[in-house]
């Protein structure tokens, strides 16, 4: 199967009504994944698919916010709803996403975050509007440790 045949099959599968979003897809510059340029190229195709199929895009981003926003901005008003999956960034990063109208997925990491400028501040200072907040598990990776922390 060629890359284009695989892409056509993936697109046909994603077009099915049972598929409600495109993703998890995105950019991760923290680990030894594919080269960043390869990640950007594939992510652009995935976002294009989401635009064509008019399905939300479920995004994974680690230490790649500027590139990710640049790519998403290329799609302008064609861009479907965007969910930033398992958001663990700073208030400043969260505000950039919120200002774009994106949703932030918050996991059990909120119970572990000890930073002064992270998720807890987004919530406690009501910077993150409740209509842009999605609660997710990302189990088993982002489980809450309820004994270690008090929630805001």
pLDDT at 132: 94
pLDDT at 103: 97
What length does the chain have?
A: 152
Residue 7: closest CA among 37, 41, 32: 41
Residues with Cβ within 8 Å of 4's Cβ and at least 6 positions away in sequence, in order, are none
Kindly write down the DSSP assignment for every residue of 66-112, as one continuous string.
HHHHHHHHTTGGG---EEETT----HHHHHHHHHTT-EEEE-GGGGT
Given a cut of 60, whether residue 149 has pLDDT beyond it is no
pLDDT at 107: 87
Given a cut of 60, whether residue 147 has pLDDT beyond it is no
pLDDT, one tens digit per residue, over 29-62 is: 998 889 999 999 999 999 999 999 999 999 999 9
Given a cut of 90, whether residue 20 has pLDDT beyond it is yes
Phi, psi of 35 (to 5 degrees): -55, 145
Given a cut of 80, whether residue 144 has pLDDT beyond it is no
Burial of 9 (0-12, 13-18, 19+ CB in 10 A): exposed
pLDDT at 139: 60
Residue 122 is given by DSSP the state H
Residue 6: closest CA among 35, 49, 64: 49
| Domains of the chain and any CATH numbers | 23-135 (3.20.20.140)
- Tell me what the mean pLDDT of segment 7-30 comes to: 96
Q: Are 89 and 118 in contact (CB under 8 A)?
A: yes
Question: Using alpha carbons only, how large is the chain's radius of gyration in Å?
Answer: 16
- Tell me what the mean pLDDT of segment 12-26 comes to: 97
- Tell me what the mean pLDDT of segment 120-146 comes to: 80
Distances (CA, A) of 98 to 29, 86, 90, 131, 147: 22, 14, 12, 11, 30
Residue 23 is given by DSSP the state E
pLDDT, one tens digit per residue, over 67-126 is: 999 999 999 999 999 999 999 889 999 999 999 999 999 988 887 777 888 888 898 899
Phi, psi of 26 (to 5 degrees): 155, -150
Given a cut of 60, whether residue 148 has pLDDT beyond it is no
pLDDT at 108: 80
């Amino acid at each position: 199967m060629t890359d284009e045949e695989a892409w056509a099959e993936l697109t046909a599968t994603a077009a099915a009504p049972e598929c409600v979003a495109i993703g998890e897809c995105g950019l991760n510059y923290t680990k030894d994944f594919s080269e960043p340029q390869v990640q950007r190229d594939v992510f652009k195709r995935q976002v294009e698919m989401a635009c064509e199929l008019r399905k939300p895009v479920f995004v994974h981003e680690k230490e790649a916010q500027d590139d990710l926003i640049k790519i998403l901005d290329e799609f302008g008003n064609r861009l479907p709803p965007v969910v930033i999956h398992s958001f663990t960034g700073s208030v400043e990063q969260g505000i950039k996403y919120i200002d774009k109208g994106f949703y932030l997925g918050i996991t059990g990491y909120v119970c572990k975050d000890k930073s002064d400028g992270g998720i807890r501040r987004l919530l406690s200072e009501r910077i993150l509007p409740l209509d842009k907040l999605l609660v997710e598990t990302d189990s088993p990776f982002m489980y809450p440790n309820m004994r270690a922390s008090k929630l805001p």
